A and B are shown apart, each in its own frame.
Chain A
Amino acid sequence: MNKIQQAFIKGKAFIPYITGGDPDMETTEKLIYALAEAGADIIEIGIPFSDPIAEGPVIEAASARALEAGCTTDKLFELVSRVSSRVDIPLLFMTYYNPVFVYGLSRFTDMCSQVGIDGLIVPDLPFEEREELLKPCQSCGLELISLIAPTSVERINNIASNSSGFLYCVSSLGVTGVRTSLHDYAANMISQVKEVSDIPCAVGFGISTPQQAKEIATFADGVIVGSAIVSIIEEHGRDSISPVSSYVSTMVEAMRT
C-alpha cells in the first residue's frame, strides 16, 4: 500500500491546496509545515500556470502572484526536496498539462519521485488523454489522480475502475471557488463509484466552511479545500501561517467530530 492510500486509512482525509510560490517560496515552505502540523492528511501544492482554465478567480490570481514573484517548476522541485523529508504525509503536485509536457514527461515524473512527490493532479488531462503521462508516472511510482464531475455520468464506472490513489470528485459545475451551498451531486457520484470500486473518494470545489466539511465527510473519504485557504493567503500574505493553521485545525476538527 502506498502513502496516498494509507492517508485514507486513518479516517476522513483533509486535503488542503496551496499555490506554490504564493506569495513567495519561503512562505510556501512554512505553510506546508503548518498545514501538516494542523492535521492535513495530504497536501496539494499547485505549480502555478499562466492560464489556469479550471480555476476560479481566487486561485487564478494566486497563480499570477506566484509567477510574478518568480516561482518556477524547478524552484518548486527544490522546495519539495527540502520539505518532503520533514513532513510524513503525501505531497501532490497539482498543475496543468503544459508545464508538465514542456518540462518533458519523464524528466518531470523522475524529478517528482526524486524530490518526494507522491502523486499528480492535472485538471486539463482527462481520463481519455492520460495515457502518455500515465506510463512515466507508473514507472516511477507516482499516482496520477483522476477527476470525476457531476457531468461524467456514464464515464464514472470506467474512470473509477481504472484509477488509483484516490478519485478527485468535483462537487459542482464550473470552476474552483468558494460556494455557499453544495449540490447533492457529490453524494450521488460517490455512491456510483462505490458500486464498482473501493477507491477513496475526496470531494473538492466550493468547500469552505466547517459545516460543509462535516457534511461532506459523512459520505466522502476526504475533503479538498483550495480557494478558501488561498483567500486567507491572499489577505495575509507572509503573515498567513497562523490564520491558515487555525482555519485548517477548525476544518479538521469539524470533519472528525
Chain B
Amino acid sequence: MENGRFGIYGGQYIPETLMSAIRELALSYERWRRDPDFIEELDSLLKNYAGRPSLLYFAEKMTNDLGGGKVYLKREDLNHTGSHKINNVLGQALLAQRMGKTRLIAETGAGQHGVATATAAALLGMDCEVFMGEEDMERQALNVYRMRLMGAIVTSVTSGTKTLKDAVNATMREWAGRMDDTHYCLGSVMGPHPFPTMVRDFQAVIGKEIKEQLLSMENKLPNAIIACVGGGSNAIGSFYEFIDDSSVALIGCEAAGKGADTEENAATITNGSVGVFHGMKSYFCQDEFGQIAPVYSISAGLDYPGIGPEHAMLFDNGRVRYEAITDDEAVDAFEYLSRTEGIIPAIESAHALAYAMEYVPSLEKDQIVVITLSGRGDKDVAAIARYKGVMLSE
C-alpha cells in the first residue's frame, strides 16, 4: 500500500508543517507493530486493564422477540471506559511512548474517545488535552467531567459547527504547533495515513474475537455483521477479519438524523460525494463547491461529515453495504435493547441495532447476525430523556 491508499481513497493531504510528524508516525508504526515486546505489552494491557476479550453474548430474548435469525451482541460496551475506543488508544499511547512523546492530544465527539485517551494518559503518566466541540460538551457533560477527573485538559472548540469536525480541525492545528513532545491520538479510521490503517489494525481485535468466539459457540461464521459508522472504527474493527469471507454480509449503519432526505443528517455514503478533507480522500457531505456541510445526528459520535477511506473503498467495491438510520429509529432501538435485554447501548450503537431489528426477522432460524455494541449508553441517558421530553435533574 503506497502512502496508505485504499483504491483511490486515503492519502496524506495535510499542511507541510505536519508532514514530518506524520511521516515519523508512519515509520514508527511500521517499526513497532511487529515488535514482540510492543505486541506483548499491548496484549497484556488489553487483557488485564481493558478487560479483553469482550463477551460475545447470545441475545436470546431479542432473538425470540424478533423471530428470524439468531442475534449475538459483541459487547465492546463492557470494555474499560465503556466503548471500543480503548483498543485503539492503548495501542497509540504505547506507540507514542516509544516515540518519546510525553503528551497526548485528541479530538472527541461523544466523549468516548476523549475519555479513553484521558484514561491511557493517566495510566501511562502522560499529559493529555482533549478538544471537544462546545455543543458536544453540553450534550456529553458527564464525559467532560470524567476526562477532567483523570487529569486531562478539555478544551472547548467554538468554531464552525462546534462539533466533531471542528474538534478535529482544532486538534490538527494544535499538533501543527507542537509536535516535538506531542502525539495526536486520532480516534477513528480517518485522517492522513497512517491513521486509517493503524487505527483499523488496533480495532481489528474485535473481528478476530468475533470469529474465534462464534466458531467455538456455533462452529460456523456469522451470516452478517452489523456495526454503526461515523468515521468507522468499530465497524472496520468488526469487519476486517471477515473481508475475505464472502458469505458474511457486512453492514455499516450511518446516521440519517432527521431523515436522509432532510437537511439535518450525517449520512455520508447515502448523500456524500468524493472529496479531500481532514487529510484523506473519501466521501464527504459537502456542497457543489466543496464546502463541508454542517451535518447533524442525535449521536455526537456519528455527527461527522466524512467516513474513513477504507469504508469508501468497501462501498465502491460492494463488499460492505451501508444503511442510513434516523434519530427516531435509533432511539427506538436504544429503548428496545434496554427493555428487552437489560443492556443500555450507546446511541451510536443503537443505529446498528435499529437496522438489525428490521433485518433479523427476514432471516432463517439457523442464520446468525452479530451486532457490534460499540459502547454503553450511560452517557446518553440524559440526552435521550430530553429527546423524549423528560427533564432529569441530578
Contact = CB atoms under 8 A, between A and B. Distances in A.
B176 A54 contact: yes
Contact of B177 (A51, A53, A72, A175): A175
Given A50-B160, A173-B177, A174-B176, A126 B290 contact: no
B290 A103 contact: yes
Grouping DSSP codes into helix (H, G, I), strand (E, B) and loop, the B interface class, with mixed when no group exceeds half, is: mixed
Contacts of A149: 15-17, 19-20
Contacts of B178: 173-174
A98 B3 CA distance: 19
A25 interface: no
A22 interface: no
Interface string A95-107: 0011111110000
B17 to A, nearest CB: 4
Interface in B12-37: 12-21
Given A53-B15, A173-B179, A174-B173, A103 B275 contact: no
A123 B169 contact: no
Contact of B290 (A74, A101, A148): A101
B290 A51 contact: no
Interface in A109-140: 123-129
A199 to B, nearest CB: 15
Interface residues of A, number: 39
B3 A128 contact: yes
Nearest to A169: B16
B159 A147 contact: no
B311 interface: no
B291 A50 contact: yes
B3 to A, nearest CB: 7
Given A98-B276, A98-B286, A99-B291, A151 B15 contact: no
Contact of A54 (B17, B166, B281, B292): B17
B101 to A, nearest CB: 15
Contacts of A100: 290
Nearest to B158: A57
B16 A147 contact: yes
B292 A51 contact: yes
A49 B291 contact: yes
Given A124-B13, A129-B13, A174-B177, A101 B276 contact: yes
B177 A102 contact: no
Given A51-B292, A173-B178, A174-B176, A124 B15 contact: yes
Contacts of A196: none
A173 B179 CA distance: 9
Contact of A102 (B3, B17, B20, B273): B273
A86 interface: no
Interface in B175-221: 176-179
A128 B284 CA distance: 22
Contacts of B290: 49, 73, 98-103
Interface residues of B, number: 38
Contacts of A41: none
A54 B15 contact: yes
B288 A126 contact: no
Contacts of B284: 98
A129 B12 contact: yes
A125 B289 contact: no
A112 to B, nearest CB: 15
B9 interface: no
Most A CB contacts (10 A, CB to CB) among B19, B21, B169 go to B19
B20 to A, nearest CB: 4
B19 to A, nearest CB: 5
Contacts of A152: 16, 19-20
B12 A128 contact: yes
B169 A151 contact: no
Interface string B258-292: 00000000000000011111110100101011111
B165 interface: yes
B289 A103 contact: yes
A60 B124 CA distance: 35
B172 interface: yes
Contacts of A125: 13
Interface of B: 3, 11-21, 159-160, 165-166, 169, 172-173, 176-179, 273-279, 281, 284, 286, 288-292
Given A129-B12, A151-B18, 4 more contacts: A54-B173, A126-B12, A174-B176, A175-B176
6 contacts: A53-B278, A60-B159, A97-B13, A101-B290, A126-B15, A150-B17
Interface of A: 49-51, 53-54, 56-57, 60, 64, 67, 72-74, 97-103, 123-129, 147-153, 155, 170, 173-175
